[in-house]
Structure 1
Amino acid sequence: MEKEVQAIDSLIKGRRSIKKFKTDVVSVDEMIEILEVAKWAPNHKMTEPWRFLLYSEEGKNEFVDAYLETQTSSDGTVPEKAIKKANYFKQIPLHLVVVMPEDPRQKTWDEDYGAVSAMIQNIQLAAWARGIGMIWRTNDWIYNPIFREALGVKPGEKIVATLMIGYADFIPEAKTRTSIREKLTVVTK
């Protein structure tokens, strides 16, 4: 039991957000296996409030084109910075868009968002254990109706994350975390 605890602790503490990826292919089948593990996230009343759009190989162009559409000005020009970012996106092996329903009942919405967020953390940990890194992005363009429509995200759905996935070309050092003792109130009476 102690070895399992140490392994889990080490996995959680060792995971990093990856921004620089190798161009090595991450197989769609392996990503499906990771999602099969990650689906065991806690979710209230077993609603499984998630769906996914996975962009691989030539399919990445659909994701990148949708991004570029959000950056195109009314005169049809695209800023150089956006073109540079699009080229970066094309080099990343996989893009996973995580979508949830937006329930009008606040309690259900909160529970669903919590469940989806827990699942995303499971995805990151299961991938990290397999040597695959990613970064969880919530860029402003995921809210743009042009991007949403291009990907088939329906009204009443929220993009919770775009996960950019691949083998790490660079693993950053851990950043310092505040001691939980500074953020914890223990109530004993």
Structure 2
Amino acid sequence: MLNAVDQNIISRRTIKAFKQDPVDVEEIIELLNIAKWAPNHKVNEPWRFQLYTGAGKEKFVQAYVNAMPTIEGYVSQKVLNKAQYFRDIPLHLVVIMPEDPRQRRWDEDYGAISSLIQNFQLAAWERGIGMIWRSNDWIYDPKFRDAIGVTPGEKIVATLMIGYPKHVPEKRPRTDIREKLIIINE
């Protein structure tokens, strides 16, 4: 029998189509304060966030546009269409971690921040807020990083596009875990 947490995990979907209804920034802060309870070695909280809302979204959108290749100095229609899509999404949350040069610490930090993001997605989903976790090529572009103030030695783990779902995709089948599990009992 599935409990409420189980149901929330199973029902959560990646949302790509958003209503233009605003999402309360204070609610996002509250959700991040819940999500921060992710497993975190040494409780070093290896994360920081930048939230783009209202007119502030334009800084995020322009950073994206400026990071995209141009053709003879012109931005492609595809890029302009994507920029408008980004403008229409209520919130953009950039999730950033320090890149520790020690591989073990880097791995632990990345695991912690990924857990935080999943906690955030699940807590938001419970309240009817959806998102998509993007890690597209342009987040690595120095033009994009510089434009939003991400410094060398920091990694953008995700750009989360957040809003109320206009459409919730159907559940796609997942492989039964028994097909991916080896049980060693001797």
TM range (shorter): over 0.9
Number of the residue aligned with 1:179: 176
| Cα displacement string for residues 133-172 of structure 1 (whole angstroms, at most 9, x for unaligned residues) | 0000001000000000000001000000000000000000
| Cα displacement string for residues 47-86 of structure 1 (whole angstroms, at most 9, x for unaligned residues) | 1000000000000000000000012527431010000000
1: CA distance, partners of 2:65 / 2:99: 26
Number of the residue aligned with 2:7: 10
Q: Partner of 1:175: helix, strand, or coil? A: coil
C-alpha RMSD over aligned residues: 1.1
Identical amino acids, percent of aligned pairs:
62
Letter of the 1:165 partner, please give it: I
2: CA distance, partners of 1:182 / 1:71: 41
- 1:37 equivalenced with 2:34 (yes/no): yes
1: CA distance, partners of 2:38 / 2:83: 32
2: CA distance, partners of 1:88 / 1:94: 12
Normalization by structure 1: what TM-score? Answer: 0.96
2: CA distance, partners of 1:141 / 1:124: 22
Letter of the 1:154 partner, please give it: T
1: CA distance, partners of 2:185 / 2:70: 59
1: CA distance, partners of 2:25 / 2:109: 26
Number of the residue aligned with 2:124: 127
2: CA distance, partners of 1:107 / 1:68: 35
**Unpaired segments ≥5 residues, structure 2:** none
Which one of 29, 41, 45 corresponds to residue 48 of structure 1? 45
Which one of 62, 78, 86 corresponds to residue 75 of structure 2? 78
Which one of 78, 87, 93 corresponds to residue 90 of structure 2? 93
Query: Where has structure 1 moved over 6 Å in runs of 4 or more?
Result: none
1:187 Cα deviation from its structure 2 partner: 1.0
**Unpaired segments ≥5 residues, structure 1:** none
Say how many residue pairs are matched: 186
Q: Partner of 2:87: helix, strand, or coil? A: helix
Q: Partner of 1:13: helix, strand, or coil? A: helix
- 1:117 equivalenced with 2:109 (yes/no): no
